Structure 1
Amino acid sequence: MSTSVVVVPGAPVLVPELSGAAAGESAAQVDAVVAMLRAAGAGVDSPLVRGTDTAGRTIGDVSSSLVRWGAEVPVGRPGAPQADHEEVPDAALIAWWLLDRAGIDLPRSFVGVTAAGRLPRLQSANTLVVVVADGPASLSPRAPVPEDPRGVALDADLTGWLRNGGPLPDPGDAVAQAVGWWSRPAWLELSGLVGHRAAVESISWAPFGVGYHGARWALSLSDSAAAGDQE
């Protein structure tokens, strides 16, 4: 028995109903991330989503929509209680959308990450942990933050970390803020869970100057404990 871990991007621009033709630039990569979720979700009991949320909110199994970004796209497990979209963190909404696309209709939950914490050691197997985390937002002139070579280097290092393992590249909070690496807390959580292990598979791309990444791990409970010991 094992715990499946998947890192997914958290960008609304990846949703076709929100961005129109722009989503086509990432359609193949999003399909690959959905395939990772589908593979990781086989045989699990429940998905647990973690993502950066300054309010540190926790939500249970609810349904909602992406209307805050301009389109009434429903997300959430069929039959789950309806929640106002304002109550649901951004990271949870995008994770819900991806889980829906993967056909994972199990009860799900979200726990927000507020700082440089670490995931607790998992106490049971058959959990799908989905970490919503983007790379720096300063990779090209199309980016939300002015292009910054530190962001470009960091995103390349994150790509390498997913593929090869080792210590998580982390320039610290000040540089992270400067280069638009706002989901740094979620990456630190991910590192706390998977340790120095390379992903089973990964994909990285940046069509809009923001680093998007998808990756999958399969961990035993002893792996999770060892990862915690490395931190």
Structure 2
Amino acid sequence: MVVSKVLGVSTSVVVVPGAPVLVPELSGAAAGESAAQVDAVVAMLRAAGAGVDSALVRGTDTAGRTIGDVSSSLVRWGAEVPVGRPGAPQADHEEVPDAALIAWWLLDRAGIDLPRSFVGVTAAGRLPRLQSANTLVVVVADGPASLSPRAPVPEDPRGVALDADLTGWLRNGGPLPDPGDVVAQAVGWWSRPAWLELSGLVGHRAAVESISWAPFGVGYHSARWALSSSDSAAAGDQE
């Protein structure tokens, strides 16, 4: 994968889950199983959002769509939950990728009132060069969806092992564990392209903090990195 250098003095990177089930208005009592973890995700976003002047969201989107600072809603999942900054132009929810909608909701929960945009990840793409060093980059990415009998995909030991490896990667750094596209599809690791983009951003660095959980048989992860232009290529930047 080819990536552009995007590190700057105050660039912060946060990976967040992209599951609608985390939204209480969409899933009711089921959201309670992840309430504490969502609070932790929101706290990471707040910490990462201090001192930055814009937010760039990256997430898997087969159409490779790009959207600007719009408002919309989560109605596609059954509830008219508004998302987006007050006063932002309204966009029909069908125009906004899933990953952007969930990221918008999390940014709203964190009280981050910054200009925001979304750039979809298709496969081995190129990260856009940031216009400002003071940018919060939010990557929306889930783990495999084959971790238990509750999962959308039949339980698969390869998915269980991969999710454990992703948890370890966030905590310890090193090369991103990647079994390849064939296995990724088999175990329901559909956001693999976004993880590859995340790896391109943070290299081999361990996160400052991270959390991983899987209440419904799908791996959910969140982690935060604080990157600077003084970070050396020895940390694992990919070109």
- Sort the TM-score into its range (normalised by shorter chain): over 0.9
- Say which of 196, 208, 211 aligns to 1:188: 196
| Contact map agreement 1:8 1:33 (CA 8 A) in 2 | yes
| Contact map agreement 2:74 2:83 (CA 8 A) in 1 | yes
Structure 2 distance, partners of 1:80, 1:226, is 41
1:177 deviates by 0.1
Instruction: Render the CA deviation track for 1:23-48: whole Å, top value 9, x for unaligned.
Output: 00000000000000000000101000
Structure 1 distance, partners of 2:90, 2:150, is 36
Instruction: Render the CA deviation track for 1:124-144: whole Å, top value 9, x for unaligned.
Output: 321000000000000000000
Instruction: Render the CA deviation track for 1:140-198: whole Å, top value 9, x for unaligned.
Output: 00000000000000000000000000000000000000000000000000000000000
TM-score, length of structure 1 as denominator length: 0.96
28-37 vs 121-130, greater mean Cα deviation: 121-130
| Contact map agreement 1:205 1:212 (CA 8 A) in 2 | yes
| Contact map agreement 1:75 1:97 (CA 8 A) in 2 | yes
Structure 2 distance, partners of 1:13, 1:161, is 25
SS in 1 for 2:231: helix
1:123 deviates by 5.9
1:5 deviates by 0.2
Structure 1 distance, partners of 2:96, 2:238, is 33
| Contact map agreement 1:2 1:125 (CA 8 A) in 2 | yes
Instruction: Render the CA deviation track for 1:18-70: whole Å, top value 9, x for unaligned.
Output: 00000000000000000000000001010000000000000000000000000
Q: Which residue of 2 aligns with 1:10?
A: 18
CA distance 1:110–1:227, shift in 2 (3 Å):
farther
Structure 2 distance, partners of 1:118, 1:172, is 19
SS in 1 for 2:155: coil
176-185 vs 116-125, greater mean Cα deviation: 116-125
CA distance 1:228–1:82, shift in 2 (3 Å):
farther
SS in 2 for 1:222: coil
Instruction: Render the CA deviation track for 1:73-111: whole Å, top value 9, x for unaligned.
Output: 000001000000000000000000000000001110000
Structure 2 residues without counterparts, runs of 5 or longer: 1-8
Q: Which residue of 2 aligns with 1:39?
A: 47
RMSD (Å) for aligned C-alpha atoms? 1.5
Structure 1 distance, partners of 2:136, 2:232, is 13
Structure 2 distance, partners of 1:27, 1:183, is 22
| Contact map agreement 2:42 2:106 (CA 8 A) in 1 | yes
| Contact map agreement 2:204 2:237 (CA 8 A) in 1 | no
Structure 1 stretches of 4+ with a deviation exceeding 2 A read 116-124, 221-231
SS in 1 for 2:236: helix
Structure 2 distance, partners of 1:224, 1:58, is 30
1:228 deviates by 7.4
CA distance 1:51–1:226, shift in 2 (3 Å):
farther
TM-score, length of structure 2 as denominator length: 0.93
Q: Which has the higher helix share?
A: 1
Number of aligned residues:
231
Structure 1 distance, partners of 2:217, 2:126, is 28
| Contact map agreement 2:205 2:236 (CA 8 A) in 1 | no
SS in 2 for 1:121: coil
CA distance 1:224–1:11, shift in 2 (3 Å):
farther
Identity %: 98
Structure 2 distance, partners of 1:123, 1:192, is 18
SS in 2 for 1:109: strand
| Contact map agreement 1:131 1:190 (CA 8 A) in 2 | yes
